[in-house]
Each structure stands twice: as C-alpha cells, then as structure tokens.
Copies of this chain bind each other. A is one copy, B any other.
Amino acid sequence: MDFFFNPRSVTVVGASDKGPGSFLLGNLQRGYQGKVFPVNPNYQELGGLPCYPSVDAIPEPVDLALLLIPATLAPETLTACVKRGVKGAIIQSAGFAEVGEKGRELSHQALEIARQGGLRLWGPNCMGLVDVPNKRFFTLMQPAITNVVNMPGSISLVVQSGMLSAGFLADLMSRHSIGVAKVCSLGNKLDVDECDVLEFLMADPETKVVAMYLESLKRGRRFIELASVSPKPVVVLKSGVSQAGAKAALSHTASLAGNARLTSNMLAAAGVVQANDFHQMMDMALTLNSYPSLPEGGRAAVITFSGGAGILTCDLLERYGLNLAELSPATKQGLAEIFPPWMPPENPVDLFPAMARMGRVVALEKACEIVMADPEVDLVVFHHLIGVEPKEMDIATLKQRSLETGKPVVFWGLGLEQGVAAFRRQAHENGVPVYGELSRLVECLAQASRWQPEQMGEPISGWTPEEASQGEETVYDEHESKLMLGEAGVPVVEEKTANDVAEALTAAQELGFPVVLKGLAPGVVHKTEMGMVRLNLDDEAKLKAAAREFLDKLAGQGCLLVQRQAKGDFELIVGFMRDAQFGPVIMVGLGGVLAELEPDVVFAPAPLTQNQALALLGRIRNQKLLDGFRGMAPLDRECMAGMLVSLGHLCTEDSSIKQVDLNPVLTCQGQPLAVDASVVSTGPAV
C-alpha cells in the first residue's frame, strides 16, 4: 500500500486546465515533491508540465496513477498502467458498480486487469487521499477546500464517500477542530478496502488514531481481526443499520450493510470505539489522540466560571460513569487562599468569586496549579468563557503541567466565536481538546477511559469466508444435541430417554422427583407449542399420566425424555451461528419473556479464549442481575465463560455445525446449566 501514500512518481490521467481535472493536477502540485506526468491527448502542456497523450507515452517509471476518466475507458487505461509498471491506481471517477449492470461489468473487467497485472486499485467513485503533514493531495477536491488544509496532526480519517471526506476536511480545517494526518476516501472498494487502509494506518508512524466512517464492511472478520491487535485507537462510525439506510447503502456503494447489532458487537469485541455521528466521531478521535489511556472511572476535578455549569457537569459525569474527585484537605486549603472568605472550596471549583477578587487569568492559573497537584484528582475539566476578557491563560504552560503530573486536561469552551476559534487552535496545537457541548466532553472522556489496549486480551482468531456448506441440514433433537454439547464440556441438565411409561418411571426414580417430562417427536423443535413439556412432576401418578398423554401424541414416533427438575435463579440464552460477514459467532444474554422486550444479548467471534468469554459476559447490559440481584446467587463467571469457550471450540472444530441454541440456560446457585438445546448441522447425523 505504500505506493499509494509515498509514490516516487504520479501520473494524472484526465488532467485538464479546468474543472476536476485541473483540481486534481493543481492539488498534486501543492506540495507533492515527486515527478508528475499529466496525461490528456488534448493538451501539450498542463500546469507547467509536459502533457502526454497516453499512459504508454510517459517516458519514466510511474508508481501511482490518478484516474479521472469515463468508466468505459477504465479497462484500456488500466491495461496501459499495468504495461507501464504502475503499482497503484486511484479511480476517482464514478459510473461503476453503483450505476447498474454495465457499470458492474466494467468494474469486473477493471478488477481482472488489475489482479492479473499486479496493480492495486483504489476506488472508483472516491476522492482519493490527502496527506496533510506532507502536503500530498491525491484528490480532485475543490481548491477552496485544499486551500484551508493547514492543521497537520496525527488523526487519520477514512471516509467511504468522496464528497463527505471533502466536506469534513473543509469543516474541520476551517474550524481548527482537529489536526489531521491522512484522509482516505475509499469509494466503491473494488479492490482496496477498509482492511487494507486500516492495516496501513496501524503501521503508519504519522498516525496515532484512526477514525473511519464506513457504509459497509467488505471483509468484516478480517477487519475485527486487525482492529483487535491495533496498538492505536480505532474509532468507527458504521452506517446503513436501518432498513432504509441499508437500501441507500446498496445503491450508493454497491455494498451490503450487515445486521446492526451483530456489527456493533463485533466491533466492540475488537476494542473498536463506536460513534454514531460525524462530529462525535471526530471528537472521540480528538480525545483519544490526546489521551489514549485514561484511568477508568477517572476522578475529575471541575474548574468553572459558573456554578450552574458545574452542577450539570456533575450530572453528566455520573451519567457517563466517571467520578467527581473528592478534593484533599491540602487542595481545599490552597483554594481557600484564593477564594473569598465566605466561600468554602468544593468540587466543582466555582472560580467566579476568586476571579472577581484577583483577576481571571491569575485565579485560573492558581486554581489549576493547586488542583492538579491533588493526588485525589485524575483529570481536570475546565469550563472556559472565552473572548470576553482581553487576556487568556497560557495553554502551553497548562499542557506542561499536565505532562508533568500525568493528568489530562480538557476544556468546555463557550463565548465569542473568534476568541473560541483562536483558543481552540492554540489548545489543539498543544494537544489539549476543546469541546463545544458539555455532554460531548464527558462522553468522550468516558469513552477514552474505557479504551485500554492492554486490556483487550487476545487477538480475535482468523476466519476465511467459505462457500455455504452443501450438505443436507440435520436438526438434532434435544437429547442428541445435549449429548454432543455435554461431551464437548457444556454443562447440560441430567436426563434419560424412555420409550414407555415404565422406562420413564425408572428414569424419574433414578433422577429423583420432581422431574420434567418432554416428548421428542422427530423434527419438532418447538415442544412447548406441541404441549409436550411438563414441568415439576412431583410424584409417580403425575409422571405416569403425562407419559401416557405424550406417548399418545407421539403415536409411535420419537421417545420420551425425563430430566431432573432444575431450579434456576434466572434464565440466560446462549447461541452459536455462522454469519456470512463475520463467520462463526457466539451469543449470550438474558433469557425469558421480559428480556425479549428489551433484548440484552451480546455477540463475539468464535472460538473464544477464557478471557474473551469473560469480556463478553462483561458486555451484558444488566450486570446487576449477573452479580446476584435480590438474593439470587451471583453467576459463576469463570464457569459460564468456560461454557462459552467449550461451545466455541466444538462449533469451530466441527465446521458442519451451523447453529446452536441453548435456551434457556438456568443459573443454579450461580452455575449455568443448559436445560434445553438444539443443534443444526449440515453434516451427517451422529
């Protein structure tokens, strides 16, 4: 991929002296230091450079081709590129897969030519890439935008859409919102996709955080594999989650959007920070760029010009799981010296009276000095009214102090626009984030305090998308399923089959009353709906009656199943499935009817290590239930994790297993026990 970002020479096919062809060439000439070869049969010269009639005519080796040509010319141009030894081509034009049959055919041809010729293709239907620190603009963005690109930084941005990447760059750069390293617009992802770019950026020394807006994942499993070992924070905004959104995604980038909950869970399993809007994604990246590791649940000191804003900050810290620091006596004493005598120092530190007393900047700097020295304080949130007073506090000194103490500082800034913009630029150049909305500030801090690469545990195991298994589908009955699962180490309820009333009675006596009786009809998964589940049979008479009834219903088919009656505290549900995008996955969550109303299930790629299984359990929303709610025994998490690990091994080692449902899994004195199970396989019946 390096030839896309660091080519020794570039050709612009479709260069021009007006319109996008001129933007492309002009942008290239803004800062790119290598050789540039414009190609257009209608010009002898462009931008002060000799212009060539075709790629073949270029007299020197070329690394990268920027193509702005009608889709119909793509095959011959790419063929010429291959012949010329070009390593990468960025097709910025549209008119490919997103425009129907003919475009798809052209895409296919282009891809074939590239694959056979060892050429990597970027796009089509994209705006290429921008490298801000190195002033490389391999893009047809308007000059009005590239003109303002003046704030290099270490956040790299991947935006599938072209116009959106241009819009963001304009927005972020003109507001000094964040410093940017690389901006990559991927378009249709015919060849180069989100995985290629993520892998490159993970290794790019100029990138500290990767932020991606993706309308589709082309290689879902590979993406989470990569992200799970990223030493840098990866922030993803994945769209196309709604019905309507998925439809638009299809027509826009000719790509399929996956199931929203599954995708979000897979990203979570890989340690990806997830955003749900554009500026929010940028703000999260900004935060992680400054503070890649914050203490979890960090104790915040709040220094404010307004008691009222301090109160809201307390509310927000609590809502997002951060804590308000309890100031130490020394800090309170220190603050008392700058506060008026009638005001007892508290956190939030309301500095307004101190400012009135000794001047705004002095009060701020003193308070900051005192509060940052407090061992009870992990981070400092400033509320800053900007542009009203002539003098401003010195950010560089504050940053220095932050580095010395290891305590992050962040600003909520409001006030007069020009002043805020200047302050934001200065702060961001010093790596201190400034936010416009308080809740965003707190949300980002909370997010950053959860991102800790060393806690992400083991890498996600690889998987290669396979052809759908061709074997006939076998639905194992409950007893067969449990035998298979039990052997693999999944705890299942004790049970015996019986073919008549006498056998059922013997089984019940061996298991001990009360028991559960089920009727297993071949091919019937939903026994309850057939009326063939009877719980709590506590004497022989009841068991016999039920057994007779079920045998009548079964009419000579199938058999009876007698189970020990388990008494659970609460119900879980566990499952396994194979997803086209993400491969084998395990699901676990709360069971029962009420849990269906507001589903609380989580997914992770299978197989799982014990740590990954524990982390998965930690993502269940209702942790309170697992911890032993209302006198129930807490779930034995190690044991539960072990069950998920066993299930994952069973299902990934036997590739014929398509689907497993364990529903419910009861927790008995904290121990999980599957009391019903169903395995679907494409292999032969055991």
Let me know if A278 is at the binding interface, CB within 8 A. yes
Contact A312 B245, beta carbon cutoff 8 Å: yes
Which chain A residues in 240-281 approach chain B with CB under 8 Å?
Answer: 240-245, 247-249, 251-253, 257, 276-280
A353 to chain B, nearest CB (A): 7
CA distance A342 to B100 in the complex (A): 7
Contact A598 B596, beta carbon cutoff 8 Å: no
Q: Chain B residue with minimal CB distance to A318?
A: B242
**Which of B145, B163, B438, B595 contacts A305 (CB under 8 A)?**
B163
Task: List, in ascending order, chain B residues with CB within 8 A of A545's CB.
Answer: none
Contact A416 B353, beta carbon cutoff 8 Å: no
CA distance A244 to B621 in the complex (A): 24
Contact B170 A385, beta carbon cutoff 8 Å: yes
- Indicate whether A164 sits within 8 Å of B346 (C-beta atoms), given known contacts A174-B417, A592-B594, A595-B594: no
Contact A167 B305, beta carbon cutoff 8 Å: yes
Interface residues on A, range: 35 or more
Let me know if A118 is at the binding interface, CB within 8 A. no
Question: Interface segment, A501-509, A624-632, A634-642?
Answer: A624-632
Task: List, in ascending order, chain B residues with CB within 8 A of A474's CB.
Answer: none
Contact A342 B95, beta carbon cutoff 8 Å: yes
CA distance A607 to B278 in the complex (A): 46
Contact A278 B312, beta carbon cutoff 8 Å: yes
The binding surface of chain A is classed by DSSP as helix
Contact A308 B215, beta carbon cutoff 8 Å: yes
Q: Chain B residue with minimal CB distance to A629?
A: B597
CA distance A175 to B418 in the complex (A): 9
Task: List, in ascending order, chain B residues with CB within 8 A of A277's CB.
Answer: 312, 316, 437-440
CA distance A350 to B578 in the complex (A): 35
Contact B439 A170, beta carbon cutoff 8 Å: no
Contact B439 A280, beta carbon cutoff 8 Å: yes
A316 to chain B, nearest CB (A): 8
Which chain A residues in 396-415 approach chain B with CB under 8 Å?
Answer: 414-415
Let me know if A622 is at the binding interface, CB within 8 A. yes
Contact B240 A311, beta carbon cutoff 8 Å: yes
Let me know if A319 is at the binding interface, CB within 8 A. yes
Task: List, in ascending order, chain B residues with CB within 8 A of A237's CB.
Answer: 312
- Indicate whether A308 sits within 8 Å of B417 (C-beta atoms), given known contacts A240-B315, A437-B279, A595-B594: no
CA distance A243 to B314 in the complex (A): 8
Contact A245 B161, beta carbon cutoff 8 Å: no
Q: Chain B residue with minimal CB distance to A142?
A: B388
Q: Chain B residue with minimal CB distance to A590?
A: B594
Contact A314 B414, beta carbon cutoff 8 Å: no
Task: List, in ascending order, chain B residues with CB within 8 A of A493's CB.
Answer: none
- Indicate whether A163 sits within 8 Å of B352 (C-beta atoms), given known contacts A242-B318, A318-B244: yes
Contact B174 A418, beta carbon cutoff 8 Å: yes
Let me know if A11 is at the binding interface, CB within 8 A. no
Task: List, in ascending order, chain B residues with CB within 8 A of A245's CB.
Answer: 311-315, 318
Contact B595 A346, beta carbon cutoff 8 Å: no
Let me know if A309 is at the binding interface, CB within 8 A. yes
Contact A308 B348, beta carbon cutoff 8 Å: no
Task: List, in ascending order, chain B residues with CB within 8 A of A257's CB.
Answer: 311
Contact B244 A170, beta carbon cutoff 8 Å: no
Contact B346 A166, beta carbon cutoff 8 Å: no
Task: List, in ascending order, chain B residues with CB within 8 A of A162's CB.
Answer: 306
Task: List, in ascending order, chain B residues with CB within 8 A of A310's CB.
Answer: 248, 252
Let me know if A483 is at the binding interface, CB within 8 A. no
Let me know if A593 is at the binding interface, CB within 8 A. yes
If A148-B416, A167-B309, A252-B307 are given as contacts, then 11 extra A-B residue pairs at C-beta distance below 8 Å, sorted by A number, are A161-B308, A161-B309, A166-B388, A174-B415, A239-B308, A244-B314, A245-B314, A276-B439, A279-B437, A596-B630, A597-B625
23 A-B pairs with CB atoms under 8 Å apart are A100-B342, A102-B342, A142-B388, A144-B388, A148-B416, A160-B308, A164-B308, A166-B385, A168-B414, A170-B388, A170-B415, A174-B415, A244-B324, A245-B315, A252-B350, A276-B439, A277-B316, A277-B437, A277-B438, A594-B595, A597-B629, A598-B621, A598-B622
A residues in contact (CB < 8 Å) with B = 94-95, 99-100, 102-103, 142, 144-145, 148, 159-164, 166-168, 170-171, 174-175, 213, 215, 237, 239-245, 247-249, 251-253, 257, 276-280, 305-319, 324, 342-344, 346, 348, 350, 352-353, 385, 387-389, 414-418, 420-421, 436-440, 590, 592-598, 621-622, 624-625, 629-630
